[in-house]
Structure 1
């Protein structure tokens, strides 16, 4: 790529208009920084055989990358959601082994799988990103983060058929703020425990709104898991609007319903839910289903106010193997077990 050969700030421009791109791979290292300015609409092929793995558009081994321009990435995912010709569908944009990147003022619609996949990256910021896919589109996570550090997602709108943001193993120092999520499965950590020593730590989610999502703030580990840890997690100042499961820790996660339900070996600890308010579609607004072999430790609830539209039936909390404490407003009343009684 000629832009990569420039020893300075190079710009790769996609001007206004509509373009079909079958696939693009931007591989570094480059001599200088790279700006990808997308002003038009880019469409993926509807031939599902073309994309059976990887990413539709990928960026790898780059330092100082910026993707912006106000344009649209159209994955035309409906052509692939119901087909079984590929074991894995492609991500719209894959960021792999990137140091220092900014993605802003970009629209992504109808991805075939994840909209953005962030893997083995450091210091990546998303802001003013709009992500859209139907609520029934499979595995169309908005931003999927794995094995990455210092990731920020600010002031964005994400509505998909899966997690708006998913934070997977090996990720740390993740900050999310000003995100509106819905439809989708919420903002999730995990699932963890599929492989050994999977760790997520130092995650801060603040000032977000979830609208009619399946889950709100969720931590999940596999029903039968390997050793791992999720720690130093903070959910603060969150508004729930008709969310099915506003606050949930599930250490028996098994979407296929064919798991062997052994005790999870992922330790969840030091998790805070502060100032979470709004409406729950279910009476069970707080659900902690932790491991009996490694109970959740130091779970903190402060100023929780979750109600239903049915004022005659107050919300409830359900706890299994969850140790912690609650302060301030308790609606529903906390079911956490104090540490002294453990």
Structure 2
């Protein structure tokens, strides 16, 4: 189909799987052009349509500036991105996002296309991984208060900051999503979710410079399944407790995932001297494959990058009902398992079952460290697990 704008409506329907009563709004712009105004115009018209509609971005490369597509819309709406949209390759100073979808119910984004954030030049000027007082860069794609949505078959490439950020969402699925940025790209979290209920991230590939999936405060009922992660910083719950007025986290399931060559594996991280007192509960990791992963299993309640906090004050984030089951593979260092809970608020009801993590380095064997937690053990544990509230590393 591509740039042939005269293609029949029937053929368009076949390509994007639309029902017969959906109206198509084409951007009407040639490849190579800036489609910011055309896309906003097409979206606005589609949003006002009384029946389901699709905004079509055909095959080809297009320039796209900062854009915000906001509902509510009168009927379900779909963005069919078949081409590649490219952000400004230079820095976008002070901007919090590149593309934003907001307040839309019944939303779909698909088509096999690419959001290219062109982040290479921006990464060189970004130092947010070293200091709080840094120059903010735009998140590639934001979903704010989007409900009953499905994002499928798209690619996010070289985001300047986070690739995808989700807040205030309900009943939202990401499927067959591909996220790619170099391992050295700073703060390029793959998918960050927070203050949402009922999010599914399934059958996706995330290779980036920060967390593949990161979970912020207020997240409830998250499923991450069949996700391949690496390189990156792994799959992280948190960090939690950095800001005041944070909300509880509950109902997190990370299952049937593979982590390869990541700096961390599956982890929960909270700040000491936290600015709030909340609970993170019912967090379960199961059937995880590790391939040369540093820090494969980690609870860190003294997470304090840049030394910008008081480690003498215990974390006030309560961790309850946590499980790690059937976690297997290889570690990149000897610290295979570290459950380092807060002294003032020990972790409760932590279960470990069938852990088999091998390490073959010269400084081995692998270790299992516990602090302020007495885990319930089931099945076999390699390395040998600790079981007392406060122990030295097990050999």
**Is 1:81–2:123 an aligned residue pair?**
yes
- Could you list the per-position Cα deviations for residues 218-238 of structure 1 after superposition, in whole angstroms to 9, with x for gaps in the alignment? 000012212111100110000
Structure with higher strand content: 1
Q: Aligned-residue CA RMSD in angstroms?
A: 1.6
CA distance in 2, matches of 1:216, 1:303: 16
What does residue 309 of structure 1 align with? Answer: 360
What does residue 210 of structure 1 align with? Answer: 259
- Could you list the per-position Cα deviations for residues 164-187 of structure 1 after superposition, in whole angstroms to 9, with x for gaps in the alignment? 000100000000100000000000
**Is 1:71–2:101 an aligned residue pair?**
no
Matches within 5 A, 1:162-311: 162-194=210-242, 195-225=244-274, 226-261=276-311, 262-310=313-361
CA distance in 1, matches of 2:213, 2:379: 29
What does residue 122 of structure 1 align with? Answer: 170
* Conservation of the 8 A alpha-carbon contact between 2:334 and 2:361: no
- Note closer, same or farther for the CA distance 1:23–1:285 as it changes in structure 2 (3 Å cut): same
CA distance in 2, matches of 1:317, 1:133: 32
**Is 1:62–2:94 an aligned residue pair?**
no
Greater RCO structure (CA 8 Å; 6+ sep): 1
* Conservation of the 8 A alpha-carbon contact between 1:100 and 1:122: yes
* Conservation of the 8 A alpha-carbon contact between 1:325 and 1:338: no
What does residue 15 of structure 2 align with? Answer: none
Quote how far apart the aligned CAs of 1:47 are.
2.6
Quote how far apart the aligned CAs of 1:253 are.
0.4
What does residue 5 of structure 2 align with? Answer: none
**Is 1:47–2:90 an aligned residue pair?**
yes
* Conservation of the 8 A alpha-carbon contact between 1:197 and 1:229: no
Quote how far apart the aligned CAs of 1:247 are.
0.3
What does residue 9 of structure 1 align with? Answer: 52
* Conservation of the 8 A alpha-carbon contact between 2:265 and 2:293: yes
Moved more, 253-262 or 158-167: 253-262
Quote how far apart the aligned CAs of 1:271 are.
0.3
- Could you list the per-position Cα deviations for residues 258-301 of structure 1 after superposition, in whole angstroms to 9, with x for gaps in the alignment? 32111100001100000000000111100011100000111100
SS at match of 1:256: helix
Number of residue equivalences:
338
Moved more, 22-31 or 194-203: 194-203
Unaligned runs of 5+ in 2: 1-43, 128-133, 391-395
Quote how far apart the aligned CAs of 1:25 are.
1.0
Unaligned runs of 5+ in 1: none
- Could you list the per-position Cα deviations for residues 82-102 of structure 1 after superposition, in whole angstroms to 9, with x for gaps in the alignment? 226973211111000111110
What does residue 141 of structure 2 align with? Answer: 93
SS at match of 1:323: coil
- Could you list the per-position Cα deviations for residues 202-223 of structure 1 after superposition, in whole angstroms to 9, with x for gaps in the alignment? 0001000000101111000012
CA distance in 1, matches of 2:330, 2:126: 38
- Note closer, same or farther for the CA distance 1:257–1:105 as it changes in structure 2 (3 Å cut): same
SS at match of 1:2: helix
SS at match of 1:70: coil
